[in-house]
Amino acid sequence: MRFVRWIVAGAIGASAIFAYAQVQKSSAVTGEEVARAMNKSVPEVVKVLGAKSPSFPAGKAEAASRAEIIHDFKLVFDACEPNFRVTPRPFRVDEKALALAPKASQSELRELIEWGFVPPYSPLVTNNPDQMTREEFGDALGYFYNQLAALTTQPDPRWTPDLMGVDGE
């Protein structure tokens, strides 16, 4: 049942993202678009987990900075962390790539990378100038939700070798 809820929540989140990507594809995502996508998709996803949804203030009409997007992702991560059923091995953080990230958000970004919510060499980490296109933001949000689904779903011991008993059952 929880899996079905995740599919429904993911579909709602994806529709929110794609609805705003109808405009020019190569232009930078605005703070307004980020806030709309987050306010539309996050409450549905967080409701599945039974956690309290963070609120995202209306963004500005100019390009959203990577620091703002990282902070929004960290708010969702913090709201959902008590519901994690699995703790992954920490992902490796490349210090040279992390140095390209906004200084104010490097500690938040480090935690998101270590937990696997942000790829270590993604545009969210390495883009220059300090903004992302709509496609890059959509990819980052989709990757984030994918890891959130993976960590909040208890694996079935029948299909997960690490959780199987000695005799395979």
Q: Tell me the per-residue pLDDT of 69-124, one tens digit each, with 9 for 90 and over.
A: 999 999 999 999 988 888 888 899 999 999 988 888 899 999 999 999 999 999 99
Query: Among residues 69, 48, 74, which one has the least CA distance to residue 140?
Result: 69
At 46 the pLDDT is: 85
Q: Is position 165 within any domain? A: no
Q: Is position 116 within any domain? A: yes
At 25 the pLDDT is: 56
Exposed / middle / buried, residue 128 (Cβ in 10 Å: 0-12, 13-18, 19+): exposed
Over residues 37-63, the mean pLDDT reads: 85
Q: Is position 136 within any domain? A: yes
Q: Is residue 30 helix, strand or coil?
A: strand
Sequence-distant (6+) residues with CB within 8 A of 8 are: 44
Is the Cα torsion angle 100, 102, 107, 112 positive or negative in sign?
A: negative
Over residues 49-68, the mean pLDDT reads: 85
Q: Which residues of 73-85 are buried (b: 16+ CB within 10 A; e: fewer)?
A: bbbbbebbeeebe
Q: Is position 160 within any domain? A: no
Sequence-distant (6+) residues with CB within 8 A of 51 are: 79, 80, 82, 83
At 49 the pLDDT is: 85
- Greater model confidence, 76 or 153: 76
Q: Is position 162 within any domain? A: no
Q: Is position 159 within any domain? A: no
Helical H runs in 21-87? 31-49, 66-80
Provide the mean pLDDT of the chain.
82
- Greater model confidence, 19 or 44: 44
Host domain of residue 39? 2-154
Over residues 130-139, the mean pLDDT reads: 90
Percent of the chain with pLDDT over 90: 33
At 120 the pLDDT is: 92
In angstroms, how far apart are the furthest CA atoms of the chain? 59
Sequence-distant (6+) residues with CB within 8 A of 110 are: 93, 98
Over residues 8-34, the mean pLDDT reads: 66
Q: Is position 164 within any domain? A: no
Q: Is position 161 within any domain? A: no
When divided into structural domains, the chain yields a total of 1
Over residues 33-58, the mean pLDDT reads: 86
At 163 the pLDDT is: 62
Q: Is the pLDDT of residue 26 over 70?
A: no
